[in-house]
Amino acid sequence: MEPRFFADCQARVASDLISGRWPMVVLYSLSDGPARPGELRKQIGGISQKVLTETLRRLEHNGLVERTRYAEAPLRVEYSLTVAGKDLLVPIRALGDWAAVYADQLPTDNEP
């Protein structure tokens, strides 16, 4: 019998880490290397500062990004991917490849 996707299975736990509109976008945006929040916001577009901050904190809490604070004036903060975050780019890119093939066939709303 094939394993099922139960609420407590590891695949479900992993998908919860990146669920929502922005986590995968932010992770992908960090794939080129460390970036400051303002740079990320400009690169991503359409994300408020509040939502970006919340998303970065969540990703940091989950061990996917790390925050580096530099003792400079003015204060400088950069975010970068951890090893786990870099490894997560593999399925994120695969999902992007799938979407590139099937996006035109998918409904644009969330209705069944």
User: For 38-86, what is each residue's pLDDT tens digit?
Assistant: 999 999 999 999 999 999 999 999 999 999 999 888 889 999 999 999 9
**Check: CATH 1.10.10.10 for 10-103?**
yes
Q: Is the C-alpha dihedral spanning 38, 44, 45, 50 positive or negative?
A: negative
pLDDT of res. 13: 77
Residue 31 scores a pLDDT above 80: yes
DSSP letter at 64?
Answer: S
Residue 84 or 10, more confident: 84
CA distance 81 to 87: 9
pLDDT of res. 7: 63
pTM (2 d.p.): 0.83
Cβ–Cβ under 8 Å, residues 60 and 67: yes
